[in-house]
A and B are shown apart, each in its own frame.
Chain A
């Protein structure tokens, strides 16, 4: 087997293996690039409601009265009073925040965005541990893909022809951007 055939076989098979991870990382990349505009991990919704004011003072009584007035049968994981006029009831995917004197209620529900949440956690290496090894292996695979990719074709469409111009252009994009818009620290 000559070197180019081995190069092309490596490029082909590593490319196949990398498809899943590349899609996960690329889709997550698009999502987290725009986190200033949206929350890429969670769908957070707030709804306002109204119950009768709660006059009780101690946390246990306030909690019991709030549950009764909200018609909640399941006890919260925990309750917290950030100030004397507010109580928050915590459930797995919802937090009830009640203004005791007025009875105004804000229910904030949060649910992970399906698939995107998992992609983002893997992309940002939240699991750590073994995923670090997998992510490192993927990074090495990308390096191999980029290097072998340059030598797939020979002739005027290969690295000695138009390939050289396109590789050069690809390298220049980050270099020029850095010097034009970022600069040295």
Chain B
């Protein structure tokens, strides 16, 4: 220890420092290539997104595995992705706790398999306006609060794991 800290570094000291740096860089580069996010998926059967929209109450609180194209990614924190449904004009949001998974914007358009628990919530007018204004700020656009006509049922999946292909 004292010798390592001494003024005169031996070739062995230099080699150790270089080896440590290279091994850390290697670990970092291997991890950067992974396309799995969060905890491993456990379910084998895939549920259709359209089935959840057809009968939300049936799926509320149930764990599901979904597959679809990524049609939206949280620009601010990477804390959600939107998956396209098997039916047109439908998508479902997959929300993760902030910081647990950070989805990069570059995965937009790719296919994802996700797993989580379906959440069906009635969203008040006030909450819709707040969310709309927040999203508009994020996208640098404006939000027309007059378009909110009443409470809305929001279906999302809250989870901890995803695979992106």
Please give the distance in Å from A34's CB to the nearest CB on chain B: 13
Q: Would you call A13 an interface residue if the criterion is a C-beta within 8 Å of the partner chain's C-beta atoms?
A: yes
- Which of B80-131 touch A at CB < 8 Å? 84, 88-89, 91, 99, 102, 104-106, 108-111
- B91 near A39: Cβ-Cβ < 8 Å: no
* Listed stretches A63-71, A74-82, A152-160, A161-169; interface member: A74-82
- Which of B59-76 touch A at CB < 8 Å? 69-71, 75-76
Please give the distance in Å from B50's CB to the nearest CB on chain A: 14
**CB contact under 8 A between A131 and B108, given known A1-B2, A81-B88:** no
- B89 near A78: Cβ-Cβ < 8 Å: no
Please give the distance in Å from B34's CB to the nearest CB on chain A: 9
Number of interface residues of A (CB under 8 A): 38
Q: Would you call B150 an interface residue if the criterion is a C-beta within 8 Å of the partner chain's C-beta atoms?
A: no
- B32 near A83: Cβ-Cβ < 8 Å: no
Q: Which of A46, A59, A77 has the most CB of B within 10 A?
A: A77
Q: Would you call A126 an interface residue if the criterion is a C-beta within 8 Å of the partner chain's C-beta atoms?
A: yes
Number of interface residues of B (CB under 8 A): 28
Q: Which residues in A have their C-beta under 8 angstroms from that of B108? A: 77, 90, 95
**CB contact under 8 A between A78 and B24, given known A88-B71, A90-B71:** no
Q: Would you call A50 an interface residue if the criterion is a C-beta within 8 Å of the partner chain's C-beta atoms?
A: no
- A78 near B84: Cβ-Cβ < 8 Å: yes
Q: Which residues in B have their C-beta under 8 angstroms from that of A82? A: 71, 89, 91
- Taking beta carbons and an 8 Å cutoff, which residues of A are in contact with B? 1, 6, 9-10, 13, 35, 39, 41-42, 44, 46, 59, 76-78, 80-84, 88, 90-93, 95, 110, 112, 121, 124-131, 134
- Taking beta carbons and an 8 Å cutoff, which residues of B are in contact with A? 2, 5-6, 24, 27-28, 31-32, 69-71, 75-76, 78, 84, 88-89, 91, 99, 102, 104-106, 108-111, 140
Q: Could you list 13 examples of A-B contacts with CB < 8 Å? A: A1-B2, A9-B5, A10-B5, A44-B75, A77-B69, A80-B84, A80-B91, A81-B88, A82-B89, A95-B109, A126-B102, A129-B27, A131-B28
Other contacts beyond A77-B109, A92-B106: 17, CB < 8 A:
A1-B2, A41-B105, A44-B75, A78-B71, A80-B69, A81-B89, A82-B71, A82-B91, A84-B89, A90-B69, A91-B109, A95-B108, A110-B75, A110-B106, A112-B104, A130-B27, A134-B24
